[in-house]
Structure 1
Amino acid sequence: MRRRHIIALALAAGATGAGLTVHWLVDFDGPQRKGVVVGATESIGKPGAGQGAAVAGARPFDAARLRQAVRAYVGTRPGKAGVMATDLRTGLSFGENEKGDFVSASIMKVDILASLVLQRQRDRRGLSDGERDLASQMIRESDNSAADALYSDAGHGAGVRKSNQRFGMTDTKPFETSWGSSWTSPADQVRLLTGLASDRSPIDASGRRYILGLMGSVVDEQAWGISAAALPGEKVALKNGWTPVHDQGSGWTVNSVGRITGRDHDFLVAVCSGESPTMEAGVSTVEHVADMVVDALRVSRRP
């Protein structure tokens, strides 16, 4: 294990959701990182492109065994967790508690930006220079004030909810004013990620590249989460969310969503957790679950 430092910019996700930013310096032991290139990835075409591609030495995918292993691990952890992952190259998918309800915290920022990009596309215009500057701050630095402004531009909860229908998201419940207090599920987050990775998306190619580009250039101290599952040289585009919860439960919500792309695989991964006693505990749970699931998908083939 190596020591890592994270400067946490946490949303105070109360009922009013004023977007207050609080700073912590968190010093903790996390899972050993394998090495990762945090960077944007191109859209790969239709979901499942390359399905059934041969993987040398791969064994048939055993979803039941993986589910048992994930449940056993989560059972030893404080709090709760859910995961959804799919490999667009092989067509393999796995979920455990993937439709569970979790407070979104800052992963909602990807939904805000995707919704706004889709709205501007419908109006045949792009984001303004000011909106692009705010989007960079919101995704790369997880700036809450920037998210407040763009949530307003997107029409708050009602506007994002309408866009989510286009993405096929059925579990996400945007909070009308406090975006960080929204509810979502790992399954819905992978649906949104699919909308960023597929040419069947309602968002055009340039919009998808733009969003993934921001997710692929998050500041170093926020490059944790699903990146723990990446191998050396693979590219990662991600967004994390973390906040102490009061009015919607207790403990910490810690979430990580994104894309891991390598030579033979293209993973879309969402891990959500709740009720952890500390941010440290939540990060460890999220990273370990992501690593377990991606590793299993990586060495498997379709039965």
Structure 2
Amino acid sequence: MDLSVAVYDLADGREAAYGEDRTYACASVAKLVILAALLLRARDAGRWLSADEERLAAAMIERSDNDAATVLRAAAGGVAALDATAARLGMVRTSAAPAWGLTRTTAGDQLTLLKAVFRPDAGTGPDQVTGTGTGTGTGTENGSRPGPGLDARSRRFLAGLMGRVVPGQDWGVSAAGDDWALKNGWLPRTASGRWLVHSVGRVDGCLIAVLSEGHASLESGIARVETAAVSAVRRMRRSV
């Protein structure tokens, strides 16, 4: 069984990792970069997501709907858009695949993506789209050009969906605390019959990515991921 962990303390910027450069297939964790790609594409066009895009995004993150992910990846620009988004956000070891669930990533890159969503100083420049309704493309503020990162509205939207994952999919890093926002991924591997199980998100002031594969069952994978998450957050807190 292979397992990698990367954790970041939002309060003081301390970071710790184990096996953070080992690559894994993303499974449904890829849905975070799909949504990031869609949000960046909309931002670059000076608009917000349409009502239909918002609906599909909620289904993709909250319920891990695979059909929604396929539609939204196409809307974001396909494989090339995922690679461009990874590069834009600094995910240097993430590589998109034609089957989005087979996109390769690392715990370190997943932590980089989480920082782009949850760190207070993430993003560059002012919000490029304003307003609170759906489909309110108002262009850029003061004629400014979109910066490379997710703007504040995009970060709030993505984080909000991660905080509303449906019961039954709210396992993983949530074991480490009560205040969480997450996305999980799970996939049985055809060749080995073993399971790939991931969990990434924010929990009680820490960002954490736990990626793993080689589990005999989904249940044993979830248990191992949760143990790793709890241990990583506890060690981070004890090191203060």
Q: TM-score range by the shorter chain?
A: 0.7 to 0.9
Change (3 A) 1:80 1:160: same
Question: 4+ residue stretches of structure 1 with deviation over 4 A?
Answer: none
The unaligned stretches of length 5 or more in structure 1 are: 1-78
Over alpha carbons, which structure has the higher Rg?
A: 1
Identity of aligned residues (%): 39
Contact 1:172 1:184 in 2 (8 A): yes
- Alignment counterpart, residue 215 of structure 2, candidates 259, 276, 282: 276
Provide TM-score, normalisation by structure 1. Answer: 0.69
Larger helix percent? 2
What is the number of residues matched between the two proteins? 214
1:105-254 equivalence runs, <5 A = 105-176=27-98, 178-198=99-119, 199-201=121-123, 202-230=149-177, 234-246=178-190, 250-254=193-197
SS of residue matched to 1:222: coil
Relative to the length of structure 2, the TM-score reads 0.86
Q: Identify, as 1 or 2, the structure richer in strand.
A: 1
Amino acid at match of 1:97: G
Q: Return closer, same or farther for 1:184/1:250 CA change in 2, 3 Å cut-off.
A: farther
- Alpha-carbon shift at residue 88 of structure 1 (Å): 1.6
Output the CA distance in 1 between the equivalents of 2:47 and 2:179. Answer: 30
- Counterparts of 2:180 and 2:10, CA distance in 1: 15
Deviations along 1:229-282, one digit per CA (max 9) or x if unpaired, are: 11xxx42110000010126x6511000000113xxxx21100000111111111
The one-letter amino acid of 1:259's match is R
Q: Which residue among 202, 209, 232 is the counterpart of 1:259?
A: 202
* Distance in 2 separating the partners of 1:157 and 1:172: 12
Q: Distance in 2 between matches of 1:260 and 1:225?
A: 10
1:289 aligns with 2:228: yes
**1:103/1:274 contact within 8 Å kept:** no
Q: Determine the structure 1 residue equivalent to 2:17.
A: 95
Whole-Å Cα distance in 2 between the matches of residues 109 and 88 of structure 1?
23
Instruction: Tell me how far apart the structure 2 counterparts of residues 271 and 200 of structure 1 sit (CA, whole Å).
Output: 22
Whole-angstrom CA distance in 2 between matches of 1:200 and 1:285: 31
- The one of the two structures with greater contact order (alpha-carbon pairs below 8 A, sep at least 6) is 1
